[in-house]
Structure formats: structure tokens, C-alpha cells
Structure 1
Amino acid sequence: MNAPESKTAAADKHTVLVVDDHPLFRRGVRELLSLDDTISVVGEAGTRDEAVLLARQLEPELIVLDLNMRGSSGVEILTTLKSEDPSMRIVILTVSDSGDDLLACIRAGADGYFLKDMEPERFLENVHEALEGRLIVDTAMVRYLTDMIREKAQPEAPNPLTEREEEVLSYIAQGLTNKMIGRKLQISDGTVKGHVKHLLKKLGFNSRVEAAVWAAQREEQKAKRQM
């Protein structure tokens, strides 16, 4: 575990915590992120316990988390952190292009799924989009998520959502966080959270990413019917 950077030093930058059990790879990610003067890597962790401890201490804006770690899985760490703070933004950075791994992470609350073979420039772009509250899935993996959601999504009625839930869903599809949605609709974060919980239950989903992809597919189908 590397010594964390002070909160004061990172006060004017976006804060990121890097979690990976390979020191060489962690250092590479840190150095890449350090090339961006708007980002500060406030800490590095190589184990589950280090990750949980630093996440609590540093409260980073974003955690970049490896999926396959010795002694613990990224999904386990993700589940632990999300159970403590659902608003914590966590993206998975992995070599796995398995559709099963993707869905497991999304269901556990991941805010993004990046593959380690992406270009450095694209990685930085994805990190910025994640920091802005958007839901990011590597383009090579979107088709898996789309297929799985198409097979699973079976709303109990043609339009089971309330008008407010439809509004919230549209903003989720745009990648907005609960706080951002609350500002748009002039309601509290807690109220938004309640709407999200209800619409996910109605649509049979476990995560916002699943709902976002489903909503995008629905809009695409509507557009085709109107042509």
C-alpha cells in the first residue's frame, strides 16, 4: 500500500484510488493518470483490506479496480464498498472479456467496465467520463451486455413505469448520478434513490447500467417504428 497523498494536495483535482495486485501495473496506471493535471492518484492498494481501508480514509471520487486479485475478487471488493457507500464510483479495469464477468460486475454496482488492452488515450477519456457520472462499458463488451439485457428484460406491462420513473430512467440512460438527477428534477437524492429502486424492480434489473442499456434499446426501437 503506497502512502496516500494528502487531501489538501489533491483538493483542486479529481481524486482517484488505484486497486490492483500487480505493483508494476498499478504504477503504470498511476503514472498515466498523473499525466493529466486535473487528476490526482491519492492512493494505491494491492489487497482487499488495503482497498477498503483507503477507500474509507480517502473517500476518492473514483476507484479503478482490478477484477482478478490474489486472495479476493474484484466483485467481492466492489460489493463491500458499494454496501458501505452506494454513491461511491467504481470502475473495473480487467483483462477479462467474459460476458459473465461483465454482468456480475454490473449487478454488483460497477459504474464502468474497461479492458486493459485499450489505448492509453481512451482510458483517460473513460476515466473523465466516469468522473462526470457517466456509465462506461468498453465498446468491445457492449454487445454482451445488450444481448443479455435483451434476453432478460421482460417488463410486466407495456409501460409499467410512472411518469416520474420514466423521467429518472431517461436521465439514468444519459449517465447521470442520483445527485445530478435530483438537481434536474428538484428532488432529494433519497427520493431519486427510491425511484431508481422501484423502476429497477419493475423492469427486472439489478443495476443502473442494465436499465440504461435497455432504455437506449427501447428508444432505438421506437425510432425504427416511426420511420
Structure 2
Amino acid sequence: MIKVLLVDDHTILRDGLRNILELEKDIEVIGESTSGNDAIDKIKKLNPDVVLMDINMPDKNGIEVTSVVKKVFPEVKILMLTMHNHDEYFMSAIREGADGYLLKDAPSNQVVEAIRTVAKGESVIQPSMTKKLINFHQQKKDSATNEELTEREKEVLLCLMEGLSNKEIGDKLFISDKTVKIHVSKIFKKLNVKSRSQAVIYAVQNQVVPLP
């Protein structure tokens, strides 16, 4: 069972999300929060698997909450669900460790599947935001990696940039899921990142591999 905490200061939206999620047999809404500080308290007390997080909230915003939570509870998955499609919000959320980023106009079934995806340790980025990421040009290039990626690791990284799951990567490259996980782990270590979405951002900003 995937335990979900809803964090949004709009009651109507929380009620709607709860009604949708309660129809799923493998998802349980264990709590709701209307502000950033309360969200942090609820996460400490309830230990959710996934937090469905808005950005605009009283006291701490969703990005600030994500930063705090990921430092203290890195195992908690955070899926941003927001109206903001601006580059700065998106990039900031991912840099702070968000595991996914969806816009509030996303279909309900996409939100449900995104929860399942991030719960498995994979990332979800709304297609329109992925395009923004691919088109993003950093003014000052970050420092280069200490270790070069192998050719196979570059192939896996390209698959991550296409948003493929471990199984899809394995099928495409004719390798096992276990081997994919090993490659992903090595990529994270070499790029000094903690999530797939952070790896994708780093790859785009630093031109680690040709864009797909």
C-alpha cells in the first residue's frame, strides 16, 4: 500500500484528490496539510511514502518544504503538483530533490500513475516541462564530472532523459532490470546527484551526452 500525504492549501483540490485516490486499491491517503510547516510536522508523524506537494502555501512554500524533507527524510518521495510551469519553479524544485513535477491540469489517471512511479524510486516530469528542460541553456557551465561516464552509462542516461522506466531501458538496451539499476546508481555517483530528474538536469546543463 502506498501511503500518500496531500499538501495543498485549497480544500476543494484536496477533497478532489482524496476522492480520486481512494478509488485505487494500492493507494491510501493518510493525511492532509494546508501549510509548509504543518506539512513537515505531518511527514515526521505519519511517515508517508509519497507527498503530493503544491508550491504556493502559507509560511514555507513547497520547494522550501522539499528541501527540508529531503535532508531529513530522503526516503520520502515528493511529487510536485502545481499550477506553475515557469522554468525557475521547475528547476528549483528538482534541484531541491523533488522526485516528480506535474501541472494541475494533468489528467487524474496521470497523477495516479505518477504516484506509483515515484513510489518505486523513479521520476516523473510532465512532458511540457521536459521540453523546457531540454531547451534550457545555462549561462555558466557547471564544473565537469570527476569521472567520465562509460559508453553504456551514457546510453542509460539518454534513456533517463527520454523518461523511460528501468524495465523500458532494459528492453531497449537488452539488459536486465538489475543491470539497469547498477548503471543508474553509478551515474548518480559520478554526477553527484540523488535522483533521475537531477541527473537529467545535470546532463542537459553540462552537455554530458547529446540531447535525444
> Is TM more than 0.5 here?
yes
Q: Quote the offset at 1:149 in angstroms.
A: 6.0
Change (3 A) 1:151 1:124: farther
Mapped partners of 1:142, 1:195: distance in 2: 20
Structural RMSD (CA):
3.6
Q: Quote the offset at 1:75 in angstroms.
A: 0.8
Tell me the alpha carbon deviations over residues 41-86 of structure 1, each in whole angstroms, 9 at most, x when there is no partner: 0111111222111111221111100011122211111111011022
Mapped partners of 1:15, 1:172: distance in 2: 29
Q: Quote the offset at 1:156 in angstroms.
A: 3.5
1:17 and 1:60 in contact (8 A); partners too: yes
Mapped partners of 1:41, 1:16: distance in 2: 5
Structure 1: which 5+ runs fail to align? 1-12, 177-182, 222-227
Output the amino acid matched with 2:209.
R
The 5 Å alignment of 1:1-227 reads: 13-148=1-136, 156=144, 160-161=147-148, 163=150, 166=153, 170=157, 173=160, 184=178, 192=185, 196-200=188-192, 208-212=196-200, 214=203, 218=209
Output the amino acid matched with 1:94.
T
1:161 and 1:199 in contact (8 A); partners too: no
Output the amino acid matched with 1:218.
V
Q: Identity of aligned pairs, percent?
A: 27
Q: Quote the offset at 1:207 in angstroms.
A: 5.8
Change (3 A) 1:165 1:72: farther
Instruction: Between 146-155 and 13-22, report the one with greater CA deviation.
Output: 146-155
1:18 and 1:64 in contact (8 A); partners too: yes
Q: Quote the offset at 1:130 in angstroms.
A: 1.8
SS at match of 1:64: strand
Mapped partners of 1:78, 1:136: distance in 2: 16
Matched length: 194
Change (3 A) 1:116 1:29: same
Tell me the alpha carbon deviations over residues 162-209 of structure 1, each in whole angstroms, 9 at most, x when there is no partner: 559938x64992556xxxxxx936x99xxx5x9735423xxxx78641
1:89 and 1:111 in contact (8 A); partners too: yes
Output the amino acid matched with 2:153.
E
Mapped partners of 2:208, 2:131: distance in 1: 12
Mapped partners of 1:53, 1:92: distance in 2: 18
Question: Match for residue 5 of structure 1?
Answer: none
1:165 and 1:199 in contact (8 A); partners too: no
Structure of larger gyration radius = 1
Change (3 A) 1:217 1:14: same
Tell me the alpha carbon deviations over residues 74-117 of structure 1, each in whole angstroms, 9 at most, x when there is no partner: 11111110110222210100001111110010111110001001
Output the amino acid matched with 1:184.
K
